[in-house]
Structure 1
Amino acid sequence: MSVIDILVPAGDVRRMHLLVAERLAGKGHDVALVGTDAPGIARTLDNILHFERAALRIRLDSLLDAVPQPLLSLARSGAALRVDLTGSGRPVASPALAPRFAGSPSLAEAARLLMLGRLPDIAVVLDGGRPVAEASPMADSRLSVARGLDDILARVLTLLVIETHRYLDGGAMDARPAETAAPPKTPTSGQMVGTYMLSTVPRQIGGAARRLAFKLHRWNVQYRFHKGRRVADTGLMAGEPWLTLPDDGDRFYADPFPFEWNGRYFIFVEEFRHGGGKGVLSVAEVFRDGAPTVPRVILEEPYHLSYPQVFAHGGQIWMLPEGGAGGNLVLYRAESFPDRWVRHSVLVPGRQLFDSTLLEHDGRLWLFATERDGYGSASDMLVVYHAPALEGPWTPHQANPVRIDRAAARPGGRFVRVGDRLVLPVQDGTLEYGGALGLADLIELNETKVRLTEPVPILSPIRSTYPKIHTLNSSEHLETVDCIAPMLRGGLRRAG
């Protein structure tokens, strides 16, 4: 059992601080919160967050919620490691780990970048030196600083716990001294107020106006019969023309997965009815002339479903959809294809996994997914599981999380073989959720290592009506994508 002191401002303890301590204690360490005289979060930032939550009616169990009457301890001389969560940037007795927000120890710098509509990268540094771990977290909301900070802090929490446990477990860390540079950025109260009023508020007003005029969060499914030249082969959307799976305006379709069976062609989709609050799974048949049937519902649960990954294995047809809100990864079996599906088994219990994507490789089965980890976005933390058979047991990879990266973590479709390469479509949330898709090559995969290349963006024709691609899938003859497709309230889609 290792002794860890978590250094926090004595007068400003937040839920984030408690969770770091709780998670490390859960790994078997002797953990104490140690109060210091650091000032804590800037009062101006706190006031801005309180104002925003009241003005926008944000209901959020925040990592920044204050903890009344926390149990604090004195510093312990025998501590094997200190985790500095004061945000002060002051020197701390070695060894010590601390988070950085775009190079600054201050959370206010992360807030300033969010106010400008930018996403800060994060790091963990050892003894004030260069980073020993870095990440690029996703913020699902670009118009709320309160929500954005929670998403950023969620991955700081993840990274700190991983690196602290790794350090105490004897993992090698680069303790190089910090480079001589300008002092880390800490915005003043005036800068924060000015940035919020001149940048954030106008963007919030513009966002509200767009929401009044458009149904923004909706998608279009497009498909085509390819002639062996798929998007994954060329990196381009060019080629045979794309057809649109029509909807009635009261719902939209997303996450298309094509599947061919007995010479027939099917597209499985998420169906989301406006105002419905959750997605269900549906299927449409596509005929050789390109004409589709109207999608019909095939699976509904009390929680949201999407990403209906359908595949054949062991002489049966299976579906492994996304149901992260249900807290389990559930495998379904086709009782009567394509309309009747039964719950077969829970592959990974008690985890919030999203867009789990199956791969058979070197005699084992692998799952690539993102995990929410209790807080934060569902789109930035890649985890991998492996098993000897479909029913399991499924084992988390020892390298988890493989990466924390808003541009290269969340799968956006099945693996596809391109010659000798294995290619995974991955979502890029740099600009917004669903804003782009890239293709990453899997270059190493075994029970100790997972290596993917950096994604190469898919290029769309300059005049493509829906250039923001979200998922990509193909079968032997059919190829599908879905794209952001805002629609004017009243029924007219926006072009471009």
Structure 2
Amino acid sequence: MRVRLRLDGRRPRRWHADLLRALSALPQLAGGTVEIDARPGPDTWPETVELLFRLETLIQRLPAAGPSEPLALSALGPWPAAGSAAPDLILDLCGDVEPAGSTRIWRLAYDGVAGEAGLVASLLAGRAPVIGLHEGAVLRASGRAGTEMRGTIRVSFEDALMRAVTLIAATLSGRDQAGLNIVSGPGIGPVSLPASRLGVRGARMLARRVVQRLYHLCYHAPHWRVGWRRLDGPDLIDLRAHPAGGWRVLPDDGRRFYADPFPIDHAGETYVFFEEYIHAIGKGILSAVRFGPDGPVGTPEPVLEEAHHLSYPFVFARDGEVWMVPETCGAGTIDLYRATAFPGGWVKEATLVSDVVASDATLMEHAGRWWMFATVRGSGAGAPLGAGSFSDALHLWSAPDFRGPWTPHAHNPVLVDIDSARPAGRVVARGGKLIRPIQNCTEGYGRALALARIDRLDDDGYRQTVETEIGTGPLWTGSRIHTLNRSANLECIDGSARSLRLGAMLGRSSQ
């Protein structure tokens, strides 16, 4: 099979090399040719975008190298220039390839606009862009790209480019409508890109950055907190809203925050495990506290620390033991731990999945089989692990036992959608349905909690329907909410607040 990549030869970027490597690594192209058409593309790219990127890099202290980094055309030398022979498929990144003969053309577009300028326009309009791969009037695949740094155009731009690599590679592997959810959204269509907006945006961003710097001098942000309540009636999944009585907050000293609560009943007692993020060291460890009838008993105690950041302590009981699968994306693995002196004494039993930057791994036993959900950063075969968003590409694995061996789903990523991919707690069976708590990160990481009904879960596909979204408000103040879990009689959530640095010095924190 001969595949031709149409790119703008005036602006080759590092992501083009990442895409070419990903394509060349596909088994479907073994023995074939991946070639390049690098003629100058349509002149729609405002040069002031590069100035904006440089300004953001300087002010936000971003790494200089990234997927948007310009490359010399010679850096794409391992792939031949387009020859005279007609290819079987053209991947059109510019939007200027005209139909000819029997050659198929797949055009990449962002909110319906081809080319990188269309992506920038969408981001400047404040959108989470829908990436579409079009063959004529047929939409082969699509996904809503996201980022953890919403509002920083360079990072959002790069995360979307790497997710485009994911979609292209997955579709070339034969996973189009059969294995990838097709997403859509309001306002999808052509948008304009006035170059003057970039200069104005750069000035406004600089002013905002000064305000942000002052804010961070005064506050720890974000500062998460754990909410809890005793259950004597319906839980949040049945209520589909915050309880009328609200939530009580697990107190902290302002020098650390607590997030990702997982309650568990053990030996007649209830414990809550959570991430403890210590601002002074800039790293998360895992801690736990016992709960009595009136709330936490004593102060939280650390139970697990590693060289890398830990969070999302997915804890469960099985075979007379207590197990945990914490988030260990900094190590590039998904690991299984066992408690030898509950609630502490955690020892690593196995690595379930290697070479993966996975967030919020969530296990579920269903119909005699184990399934694992996580969002994965990176773009697939041949592409770097550390690129793209942490929150918009849902991957699945299955296994006969929670210890493994774990097999990746044939259609990974089964969903690309910043609205509804990232897990937010244990999957719950309710009324004959499986309900999956999820994070809606469209407006930024952990901005809202949602509940999705799993409609299909098998070797051939995955489907879900988002039924309810639960945000912050009078009964849970703050700006974010992103975890929901319960035990028999205790329900926990979390969300962000502000912690005054001065207040921490004086022994108090603000909500």
Query: What TM-score, normalized to structure 2?
Result: 0.88
Separation of aligned partners in 2, 1:50 and 1:92: 37
CA drift of 1:426 comes to 0.2
Separation of aligned partners in 1, 2:81 and 2:97: 19
CA drift of 1:424 comes to 0.9
In the alignment, what sits opposite 1:104?
113
**Quick check: 2:447–2:471 contact (8 Å CA) kept in 1?**
no
In the alignment, what sits opposite 2:147?
139
Moved more, 103-112 or 353-362: 103-112
Separation of aligned partners in 2, 1:5 and 1:171: 24
CA drift of 1:196 comes to 4.3
Query: What is the letter of the counterpart of residue 415 of structure 1?
Result: V
Moved more, 68-77 or 317-326: 68-77
CA drift of 1:10 comes to 2.3
Separation of aligned partners in 2, 1:183 and 1:236: 34
In the alignment, what sits opposite 1:446?
458
**Quick check: 1:24–1:165 contact (8 Å CA) kept in 2?**
no
In the alignment, what sits opposite 1:382?
394
In the alignment, what sits opposite 1:190?
196
In the alignment, what sits opposite 1:95?
104
Q: Residue by residue, what CA displacement relative to the aligned partner does 1:40-87 show, whole Å, maximum 9, x if unpaired?
A: 7442222321233234432143111122223251245242111112x2
CA drift of 1:289 comes to 1.9
Moved more, 111-120 or 20-29: 111-120
**Quick check: 1:471–1:482 contact (8 Å CA) kept in 2?**
yes
Which residue of the other structure, out of 46, 52, 60, is the alignment partner of 2:50? Answer: 46
In the alignment, what sits opposite 2:252?
247
Separation of aligned partners in 1, 2:479 and 2:6: 47
**Quick check: 1:426–1:455 contact (8 Å CA) kept in 2?**
no
CA drift of 1:92 comes to 5.1
**Quick check: 1:225–1:240 contact (8 Å CA) kept in 2?**
no
Flag structure 2 segments of 5+ consecutive residues without an equivalent: 181-187, 379-384
In the alignment, what sits opposite 1:178?
none
**Quick check: 2:218–2:500 contact (8 Å CA) kept in 1?**
yes
Query: What is the letter of the counterpart of residue 447 of structure 1?
Result: D
Which residue of the other structure, out of 151, 156, 160, is the alignment partner of 2:159? Answer: 151
CA drift of 1:348 comes to 0.9
Query: What is the letter of the counterpart of residue 274 of structure 1?
Result: H
Moved more, 99-108 or 476-485: 99-108
**Quick check: 2:246–2:475 contact (8 Å CA) kept in 1?**
no
CA drift of 1:6 comes to 0.9
In the alignment, what sits opposite 1:177?
none
Which residue of the other structure, out of 354, 357, 361, is the alignment partner of 1:356? Answer: 361
> CA RMSD of the aligned region, Å?
2.4
Aligned length, in residue pairs = 482
Q: Secondary structure at the match of 2:429?
A: strand
**Quick check: 2:179–2:460 contact (8 Å CA) kept in 1?**
no
Separation of aligned partners in 2, 1:8 and 1:467: 41
CA drift of 1:145 comes to 1.2
Q: Secondary structure at the match of 1:138?
A: coil
CA drift of 1:114 comes to 2.7
Separation of aligned partners in 1, 2:147 and 2:471: 24
Flag structure 1 segments of 5+ consecutive residues without an equivalent: 174-181
Q: Does 1:287 align with 2:292?
A: yes
Percent of residue pairs identical: 32
Which residue of the other structure, out of 92, 111, 117, is the alignment partner of 1:84? Answer: 92
Separation of aligned partners in 2, 1:459 and 1:313: 33
More strand by share: 2
Q: Does 1:65 align with 2:69?
A: yes
Q: Does 1:115 align with 2:124?
A: yes
Query: What TM-score, normalized to structure 1?
Result: 0.91
CA drift of 1:8 comes to 1.7
